[in-house]
Amino acid sequence: MVSTKLDRKALAEVYYVILSLNNEEFSKIPKNLIEAIKKNMDNEYEVNIYEIEKGNMQADTEKILATIYAYYLSSREEKKVIWDLIEFKKSKNTKAINFKKKK
């Protein structure tokens, strides 16, 4: 196990969510990523999948699952939308920074 900024409980939750993906979806996620998650997750943590379904999850869980979706599980069209949004968000943020600097 290596030190990471990601919450180990969140990694455990992520793992149990992706473990329930069907074979086709699961195979889209890089194996080394899955292995890295498995190796760094909190094995003692009792994941309650039903609570996650209800939205009760660790803060990092949502981010990691969204990242996995954005990079590996989303379709081409979805990816374009996501990246456009990210770019838009980034440029918006840059403008805001510059605006602050100008100020």
Count the site residues for another protein by CB under 8 A: 52
In angstroms, the CA 3 to CA 61 distance is: 17
CB of residue 43 to another protein, shortest distance in Å: 8
Alpha helix locations (H) across 1-103?
Answer: 8-19, 23-26, 31-40, 49-53, 59-68, 76-102
Q: Considering only residues 49-78, where is the footprint of another protein by CB under 8 A?
A: 49-50, 52-53, 55, 60-71, 73-74
21 contact partners, CB below 8 Å, separation of at least 6: 29
Residues that bind another protein (CB under 8 A): 2, 4-6, 16-26, 30, 32-37, 39-40, 46-50, 52-53, 55, 60-71, 73-74, 82, 85-86, 89-90, 93
